[in-house]
Chain A
Amino acid sequence: MNRRADRPQAYRIFSVALELAPADRALYIREHCGRDARLEQTVNELLAIASAGPKTIGALRGDAEPALEDRTGWECGQFRLLELLGAGGMGAVYRAERIDGVPQVVAVKLLRGEISAARTERFLAEARILARMEHPAIAHLIDVGIREGAGWIAMEFVRGPPITDYCATQRLDTAARIRLLLTIADAIGMAHRNLVVHRDIKPSNVLVTEEGHPKLIDFGIATALTDPTDHAVPGSTEVGRLFTPHYAAPEQVKNEPATVLTDVFGLGALAYRLLTGIEPYAQAGTAWSYLHAVLHQDVAQPSEAALAAGRDIGAVRRLRGELDCILMKALARDPARRYASIRDFADDLAAFLACRPVSARVPSMGYRMAKFVRRRTLAVSLVTLLAVSVLTSAVVYGLQARAVAQARNVALRRGEFLEELLKSADPDEGRRDITVAELLTTAAATAERKFAGEPLIEASMLGVIAQTQADLGRYREAAVANDRQLSLLRTQDGSALEIGRALTIRGLLLRAQGQWPESERALMEALPMVRERGTAEDMCVLLNMLGAAQSHTGEEVAAEATYREEIRIAAGAGPALQDQLMLAYGALSVVAGGEFGRYAEAETYAHRAWEIAQGLLAADHPDRLIMENAYARALINVGRPAEAEPLFREAASAEARVLGADHHDTLVTDLGLVEDLIELKRSAEAIELALPLAHKIDTVLGVDNGYAQTAWADYGNAACDIHQDQAGLDALRHVEEVRQRLLPPEHRLIHSVRTSIGVCLMHLHRYAEAEAVLLGAASGLERARGAGFRPTQSAFRALRDLYTAMNEPDKAASWAAKLRS
């Protein structure tokens, strides 16, 4: 059937077809297979495997995995297996009932593989110890046995979701999550006193019942399955098999014996996941990278990991400080630096809940170089800076935060080996209590001394130091290292790419300090070097930062060209850079719409970004929601507010759920909805949303934040619309005042709010005042952005209405003539 000679041909047709849109595949295959049905079938099989994954192979082979063989109906001891619930690494789990009719439902785990006669006794003995453990938070073991060589374990049947799902669906707050953790800790502590170690604490092993009680399952099973005599041959147990990435302790990864401290790590990892929403070492996607990360790097500080993952600011604040310290201590790589017992760990969590002092102190992070690979506080300062400087669009913040994160990842990847290098170069490695700052200073000096003859290595190291200092928010120190790195690279014939990358970091540093023009210069200098040698990703990251810098310095034309180049490169790189493509389209839409008033075009770009987001990201992904928001905004601008409304509502509710109601992105989307309602002339609804929203933004983002002003302006406009004129006027005057304080005179946003003020004054019949304000606003806006700009048109429309009200039809007509449909 599958003729050998056909194989290359089938492979080629398959490879091409895979790149085509599914709709085009059939035609292509038919054309290229001619009438060869067997060839066509082979190609279709290949496509099926490629799209459905390796599971289809079992079906193709016609063999089920042995462990998946359904044993329903089997009798194990006094139980009969009723239904297969699932299968995992250790075996398959069934729901089972008592044969003798006593109403008892249990879970029976059938273990994979055979238990040798020699180990049977040991297995049963271990199990008997486990059966003695009674704790309300442990699914207790009921019976064990061996059937046809396979071990089985009957356990209490726990009905309920994994603890992570439970916390999410119940939307539990931090305190409630900690209380669950304390219950689990109590159970683990009891087991430890019985000399039983769980070894595999992870969300899927902690279920929560309907009544809200957590239950640990699989207690001690890993232990029962390990024959201690195995240790006679070091490294002989199944390395890489019994560890769960993100929850396994370093000693487990190294295949060293597990101790109670291993469970401290496991519970720490679970706590990290529950309190931050992300897993420890989340960036380590594969078993390899987890192995490397957990052995060489400290886990990212919880508050920073949460921040980087886009959790809401409130959650980040709650983590910062004591919870950071507690979790870092539980997750210390060196067991000796962890809590000495589960009890100590639990005591600190309880102390935190009760607001008593905790025992964990700020960890002395210095003695290892691991922090080089740790995300730092850069994002915090960016949020603050952007909040002041970005007024134009809702999407800009999200886009930039992402671009920065990506730029950082590029730099961090390079850091891995330098980390090792620096560790060996550091004479103070054994000292335990030096601070990061001290260490970096030492490292910089060491670098100079130690690598005196190897300037390029020194330069690379300085690059890592610069990055770390920047991450710590120490921009001046970062700049010193970055300067020295650049001068070394330049005088010592460093590669153009290295120089380009160092300049990219410089651009990042300058931008973090709000020095946009300087940032732009550095990035422009980097551009030709990266263009020549860098990867497509290097280029996209650079261009994205450059585009942002250009639009900040008022060079929108250049920014547009930059984003267009980014689009070209990202589109040319195929599926790998789709996320960059999405960012570039999003940014381009902002430039085209917000800056140039080319709304129809902006809508096209925003639509494209939204399409990519839908194809690329899960429904709840924050970036996808940002794009949905951006597209909805673009729809308002092309006069399609009715279509925008469901998008805003969908994004807002998803963001509230995923990010929290107080998250920056959520607030911005809520704001979009308010503007949409105003556009739809549903001002009463708009006011109801706008007033609490404006207060909330003031509190969460600060009064000086651009969005706060937008919210008050929206409230003011809506209030004027339904003739609550004085309230509206007060709000608008407040916005004018803040903007005058923060923005350059004549800024278009000052003129925009003045247009609204003029409308309000007109409603109050204060015509003379209204006329002066509106005339100023109209000419200011026309100068700034031209007559076709939406706010300019609004000012024209207000003037027409004003003169109509003042009974001056000629003037009204002349302003009406300037209106575009």
Chain B
Amino acid sequence: MNDETGSSSLPLLLERWSRGDRTAFDALLTQLYDDIHAIAVRQLRQERRLTIRPTELVHELYLRMIGANAFQFQDRAHFLAMAARVTRQALVDEARRSRAEKRDGGTPVTLSDEHLGALEGGFDALDVDALLTELQGFDNTAAEVVSMRIFGGLSIDETAEALSLSVATVNRRWVTGKTWLAHELARSS
């Protein structure tokens, strides 16, 4: 309930931004962050979820926005890409905060993603983030693609559009990137 009010301004900001109002961009990002973060926190605390499915966060946000009349999807792929980046950031922040709060390591924020083979269990959000950052060092494209897919739930086509890549490239990098990430996660856990 408490986070319902904030999201109402998102569609308006998005509209301003899509009309070319660059000043709306910062506000848009901030608002998006607040909304995503609020949903994540609510899931973790009120619902006592053990794992977060990042795609669901974006999904829920999306549903609230299409409820608002002013909202039009002019550039869905780019919006979702932005949401994916913000989701990653929000989850990492939340994980760090939770870790700092509980000195003994506390409850980690764990992520689950079917692409990574974790339907039930989850992976530590900080691990995922660190590995993606590492992957960026030697295959930046793959890291971006994986990030879009996992944190934003973008389809292959949407990812291609958002990153201005060909579908073939996205397909290839998605396979190599996700495989590597899954492999390293399996190793570290």
Contact = CB atoms under 8 A, between A and B. Distances in A.
A289 interface: yes
Contact of A576 (B1, B137, B139, B166): B166
Contacts of B166: 535-536, 573, 576
Interface stretch (B24-32, B69-77, B92-100): B69-77
A573 B158 CA distance: 18
Interface string A219-247: 00000000000000111101111000000
A11 B120 contact: no
Interface string B42-66: 1000110000010110011011101
Contacts of A235: 60, 63-64
Contacts of A291: 59, 62
Contact of B117 (A54, A287, A576): A54
A121 interface: no
Contacts of B187: 2, 60
B22 interface: no
Contacts of A574: 168, 172
Interface of B: 1, 4, 42, 46-47, 53, 55-56, 59-60, 62-64, 66, 72-76, 114-121, 134-135, 137-139, 153-155, 157-158, 166-168, 171-172, 175-176, 179-180, 182-187, 189
B180 A46 contact: yes
Contact of A18 (B167, B175, B189): B175
Given A7-B134, A288-B153, A57 B76 contact: no
Contacts of B168: 536, 573-577
A364 interface: no
15 contacts: A7-B134, A14-B180, A46-B180, A56-B117, A57-B183, A58-B117, A234-B4, A236-B46, A239-B59, A292-B76, A417-B75, A424-B72, A535-B166, A537-B167, A577-B168
Contacts of A8: 137-138
A569 to B, nearest CB: 12
B176 A11 contact: yes
A800 to B, nearest CB: 55
B40 to A, nearest CB: 13
B138 A11 contact: yes
A7 B184 contact: yes
Contacts of B135: 11
A2 B184 CA distance: 9
A58 B76 CA distance: 34
Interface of A: 2, 7-8, 11-12, 14-15, 18-19, 42, 45-46, 49-50, 53-58, 60-61, 63, 65-67, 112, 233-236, 238-241, 254-255, 285-289, 291-292, 295, 413, 416-417, 420-421, 424, 535-537, 573-577
A152 B120 CA distance: 19
Counting from the closest, the 8 A-B pairs by CB-CB distance are A54-B117, A576-B168, A57-B117, A8-B138, A60-B186, A50-B179, A574-B168, A65-B120
Contacts, number: 132
Contacts of B116: 54, 57
Nearest to B63: A254
A703 to B, nearest CB: 44
B183 A49 contact: yes
Contacts of B55: 240, 287
A673 to B, nearest CB: 38
B187 to A, nearest CB: 5
Contacts of A292: 76
A65 B138 contact: no
A12 B137 CA distance: 12
A288 B155 contact: yes
Given A49-B183, A57-B183, A65-B119, 12 more contacts: A19-B172, A49-B179, A53-B117, A54-B115, A56-B117, A57-B185, A65-B120, A235-B63, A417-B74, A417-B76, A573-B166, A573-B168
A66 B175 CA distance: 26
A288 B73 CA distance: 14
Contact of A14 (B42, B118, B155, B176): B176
A416 B76 contact: yes
A286 B117 contact: no
B155 A285 contact: yes
